Structures are given as C-alpha cells and as structure tokens.
Structure 1
C-alpha cells in the first residue's frame, strides 16, 4: 500500500493509523487468528478505492471508495494468498467500510471504529460530532473507551 500510494504521505499515514487502531481494538476485544489477520489487512487496504475514484470521477466519496475499492484490493491480494474466502471478506469490508448499518461482524465493526477514530482527528471534528459518533457508531467496549479517552468525552 505504501508503494500503491507512493508520494501521498497523507493517505499512507491515514491507513497506517487506521491499521494501528484496528489491531489495538481487535486485540483488546480478544480477536485472534484469521479474523484478526482479515481485520488488519482490511484496515491497510480500506481506502484503496480512492485513487481510482479520483481518476474515474474526478473526486472520491465514501460510496465511490466502496465501489472502486474491492476490485483493487482483490488485485493486490491475489498474488499474496490463494485463500478465496479471506480475499472475499477483505473485499467485502473494503466495499462496506462507509456503510454503518447492518454491520455483520466484529471485524467490520472494529474497522469502522478505527476509521472513525482517525477521521474524527484528521478532520478536526467538533466535539459535538465526536459525541454523536460515539453514541451512534462505537459499539465495542474498547472502541468506546479509546474514543472517550482520546477526545476527552465526559
């Protein structure tokens, strides 16, 4: 992914931070084995659709990222593993990480929370937006704890 986004330090820093939070929350929640590995890989490639979104449409949104991301993630992952179910789940997470309803797994929930922790900070969101995200998005005990501590929510 660093090679894929060479020269785009902001995006590289973003996905590395999301990965760090996803791994941390995952470990705090007791996620292990292949589920943790899927979570970590998905966190690293979650925004892979941005480049093609900008190339195709001249902009990127959460929805265009979800549309353009899975094919790019699949191309990146196929040479690395022949585990079709692994690739399928990572691509599913990439294709849904901006969809906050019908979250169907701990890996999905944690990826969303990790991305929110980073985006709330990077976008310099007002405390009202942080509090709203805390109430509406954060479901894991660990994600809620981190959000409260990082943003000094009372």
Structure 2
C-alpha cells in the first residue's frame, strides 16, 4: 500500500467513530487532488499536498482537550505535532513532514499564503466547508473573491455554487 493510502487509514483510525470528520477529510483530499492536478503540481508536490489534505484537521481533538474549543488558531497550534507523528509513522521523508506540518499549522491563516500547495489546500477546504456549513450567497461570494486564486479552484467553485441559491 502506498504512503497516501496508509495515511488515509491512519486518519480513519484517528477519527474512528466520527463519520463527519472522515467524510470531511476525504472530500478535502479529493478536491485538493483535482485542483493540484489541474494546476500541474509535480508528483512530489502533489503527494505533499494530499498528505496535508488528509491531516489538515488533525488538531481538532487535541485543541478541544487543551483549550475547550477547536477554533482555527487552536487547531493550527496543536495539529503539527500530532501530524508529524502520523506522517513519520507512515514513512514520509523529513522535507515532506516539515511542509505538511507547516500547512497544518497555517491552514486557517489566509493572509500570507506561500506556495501553490498552501493555496490549493485552502481552496479545497473552502469548497467543502461552504457546503457543509450551508453557507449563504453572501458568504460564498466573499469566499470566492477573497480566497480563490487558482483557475481550477475557481472553475470548481463556479460549477458548484453559482446558481445554487435558487433552492
């Protein structure tokens, strides 16, 4: 089994009993893959991005335990340490572990995006969160204008959300 499949199963085990979380990271993973391929990431960059997509919310449980809530900042504070252990267990190399931990530690910070992998992770997470949170038209428009930068992410957003307010 390849590293990403092993990591997927590690995350299923980590979130066992929480179908919502497993569904969430699975969807973020798939959108990250589609956007990453559409934006022509090379194989190594794509693997790192997909690893980050699988573990991006790994800090939720430790944040709740330590702070009593799982705000974005608390997830960013607690996630990298937990992610590092899982990534090393699965066999990711040092550079990939460092980058994934950086992304986990910043995936709720939108004002200093430094890399296409970071941008794609944010866009994939937004595509899922806008749907899961049943966001209204105003929130969707704001997210599109402030967050989405890649052509592939914008195209996915447009296909998913433009015109959906006619429900």
1:61 paired residue number = 71
CA distance in 1, matches of 2:91, 2:17: 27
Aligned pair partner of 2:103 in 79, 93, 111? 93
CA distance in 2, matches of 1:22, 1:79: 23
Mapped contact 1:42–1:94 kept (Cα < 8 A): yes
2:51 paired residue number = 41
Q: Deviations over 1:38-63 (max 9, x none)?
A: 00000000000001011112211000
Mapped contact 1:48–1:69 kept (Cα < 8 A): yes
Spell out structure 1 runs of 4+ moving beyond 6 A.
Answer: none
Q: CA deviation at 1:33?
A: 1.1
CA distance in 2, matches of 1:153, 1:61: 31
Unaligned runs of 5+ in 2: 1-10
2:4 paired residue number = none
1:117 paired residue number = 127
1:78 paired residue number = 88
Q: CA deviation at 1:134?
A: 0.4
1:139 paired residue number = 149
CA distance in 2, matches of 1:147, 1:82: 31
Q: Deviations over 1:52-95 (max 9, x none)?
A: 01111221100000000000000101122262111000000000
TM-score with structure 2 setting the length? 0.90
Unaligned runs of 5+ in 1: none
Q: Secondary structure at the match of 2:17?
A: coil
Aligned pairs, number: 154
Alignment pair present for 1:104 and 2:114: yes
RMSD (Å), alpha carbons: 1.2
